[in-house]
Structure 1
Amino acid sequence: MVETSLGAPALDHRHVHNNSPFCRLNFHHENVMWEDINTALKEIDWHQLMDNLSPVSIYELLYEKLIRVCEKNVPVRTDKKRKNIIPKDRKVLMRKRTKLVKQMKLSIDINWKRKLANKMQSIEKQLILSHENERKYAEMKAVEAVKRNPKFFYKYVKEKAKIRSPIGPLKLDGELVDDTERICAALRSQYDSVFSKPISYDVLCDTELDEVHHDMTDVNFTEKNIAEAVAELACGAAADDTRLLKKYQMKAIAD
């Protein structure tokens, strides 16, 4: 049965501790056998078992049957800290990488450093492959659990949606670089390389803008052109000015 206990008073209330056997079971686990649970519950003859029983006895019987069925088909909860266990092969690779980093810092010989760098590159590839295999396996398990346990699938998707992938070591000019400052500089250089440089235009000085030139050396016209332009003028709002221009035009032609 369910056991409850009241803890020491905290502020203005008390904590209620639930020691139900259901709390030990992980109903969000991928290996929950829901179909087996439904089949087992359907096979029980509830009418025969609950005949002539009091409400309290019916509750106790129902609770006991559910516990027995769930304990057979639902995994037990485990400590959350165990989920972050690093695989053994990955631990070995990480130890080797640490040793190589120390050797590269202490070594002076260029040829020896190149050999160590090649080993480092091989270890990094193995670590990347290990992470990819782990991720693929987790994705496969989540996809397989879509039909029988959708909660596990959506929980997996929600967790992965918040993860930010770190930037690993980069290979620059044949050298494997894991220094964060050099990686940032390389990424910035790559980002700037796709943009073209702005064209430099000649800027006019203020003195050149303030100068006024009255010479009309780029337009060629004769007296005939002026006479034709004046003849085409129509009398509008400035009728007097037009008549005056035409009068002096005729006088200039006569002279």
Structure 2
Amino acid sequence: MNHLVENEKRAVSTIKSNPKFFYSYAKRLANSKSSVAPLKNKEGILTINAAEKAELLQAQYVNVLSNPADADMELCKSQVTETKNAELSNFAFTQEDIKKAIKEMDPHSAAPDGDIPCSEFY
């Protein structure tokens, strides 16, 4: 135990002159290992099984990413043109429209920059 205390004092005393030594010492003593927290499956049940968590993460990955080669470019171009020609005054959304749209969102998808709340609150 004395050896540990001596090493700790040495690391602290050299933090200004040799910060690399201090951080490598602290890293060696760190006990926390990063891992994936329990995940909910489609039934809403938490799982800690590594294989099942891997499958859930893979399914999420496939769900949120698309293959650009599969895109219908003509449809995309027409939608971009329609969007460019649209004016904000052409759209009318009620509170119910927004609630309905939020409920239709996948609760397991990543939130956009605006942090849309989970549909379970509506």
TM-score under structure 2 length normalisation? 0.35
TM-score under structure 1 length normalisation? 0.20
- Bigger Rg, which one: 1
